[in-house]
């Protein structure tokens, strides 16, 4: 295995990034998900809870003292200005945590996969040894978002909040298409993993 490398895994919403990361974790990758880091920052006692409540009002707080992400999501995905305010509050802390993690992975000679949905939007693509984009056709994405309980309008708002997946694919070092079965996705992940770890980029 190529030692001390960190790959960024990005793609459109509901394209299967977490599933791909899971396949690679089974093969020995260490993974960190930017969304999970952000969730921790908004959980009870999280670093960003106070700033977010100050910016959006106490009504976005959950009874446990953390941020009610569903309520906050309805606000920010309906209002681009609100979404930018939230990103300005949370993204610096997420980026700091991701950089600390990547530095530790590289120092330890390990292989890391960072799941970063907004990689290109945040201008972070040059910080990683390679960028992999997971892509799915919009009908498949809409179906997956519907299963998560989003209305068609809510789903379209989430999709519109990110760069078009085709643009992310054009900028990535490699693309994994996820429009078929889980077995087909696993096969594509296995091929990409072999290439990245045995042959390098």
Distances (CA, A) of 108 to 6, 65, 183: 11, 36, 32
Q: Tell me, what's the pLDDT at 140?
A: 93
Distance CA 178, CA 184 (A): 8
Instruction: State the helix-helix crossing angle for 34-42 and 49-56, rounded to 10 degrees.
Output: 80
pLDDT the model gives residue 199: 53
101 pLDDT above the threshold of 50: yes
Give per-residue pLDDT as tens, 163-188: 999 999 999 999 999 999 999 999 99
- Total domains present in the chain: 1
Q: Flag whether pLDDT at 2 surpasses 70.
A: no
pTM of the model: 0.87
Would you state the pLDDT for residue 14?
94
Q: What is the pLDDT of residue 3?
A: 54
Q: How far is CA 24 from the centre of its chain?
A: 15
Residue 1 has pLDDT above 70, yes or no: no
pLDDT in tens, 23-75: 999 999 999 999 999 999 999 999 999 999 999 999 999 999 999 999 999 99
Give mean pLDDT, residues 142-148. Answer: 94
Confidence of residue 161 (pLDDT cuts 50, 70, 90): confident
Q: Which helix (H) or strand (E) holds 134?
A: strand 130-135
Give residue 200's pLDDT: 47
Could you tell me if 7 and 130 are in contact, meaning their C-beta atoms sit under 8 angstroms apart? Answer: yes
3-state class of 177 per DSSP? strand
Residue 201 has pLDDT above 80, yes or no: no
> Is residue 166 exposed (0-12), middle (13-18) or buried (19+ Cβ within 10 Å)?
exposed
Domain around 143: 5-199
- The residues near 60 (Cβ < 8 Å, ≥ 6 apart) are 52, 53, 67, 68, 71, 72, 75
Mean pLDDT of the chain: 93
What is the CATH classification number for the domain harbouring 176? 3.40.50.300
In this predicted structure, what is the pLDDT of residue 18?
Answer: 95
pLDDT given for residue 4 in this prediction? 86
């Amino acid at each position: 295995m190529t030692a001390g490398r960190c790959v960024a895994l990005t793609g459109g919403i509901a394209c299967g990034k977490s599933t791909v990361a899971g396949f690679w974790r089974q093969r020995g990758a260490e993974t960190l998900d930017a969304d999970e880091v952000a969730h921790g920052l908004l959980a009870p006692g999280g670093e960003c809870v106070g700033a977010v409540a100050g910016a959006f009002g106490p009504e976005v707080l959950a009874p446990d003292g953390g941020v009610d992400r569903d309520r906050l999501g309805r606000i920010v995905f309906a209002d681009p200005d609100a979404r930018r305010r939230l990103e300005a509050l949370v993204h610096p802390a997420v980026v700091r945590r991701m950089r600390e993690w990547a530095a530790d992975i590289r120092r330890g000679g390990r292989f890391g996969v960072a799941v970063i949905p907004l990689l290109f939007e945040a201008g972070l693509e040059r910080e990683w040894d390679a960028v992999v984009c997971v892509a799915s056709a919009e009908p498949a994405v809409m179906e997956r978002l519907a299963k998560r309980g989003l209305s068609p309008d809510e789903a379209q708002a989430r999709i519109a909040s990110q760069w078009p997946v085709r643009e992310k694919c054009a900028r990535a070092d490699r693309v994994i298409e996820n429009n078929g079965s889980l077995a087909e996705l696993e096969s594509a992940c296995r091929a990409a993993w072999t290439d990245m770890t045995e042959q390098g980029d």
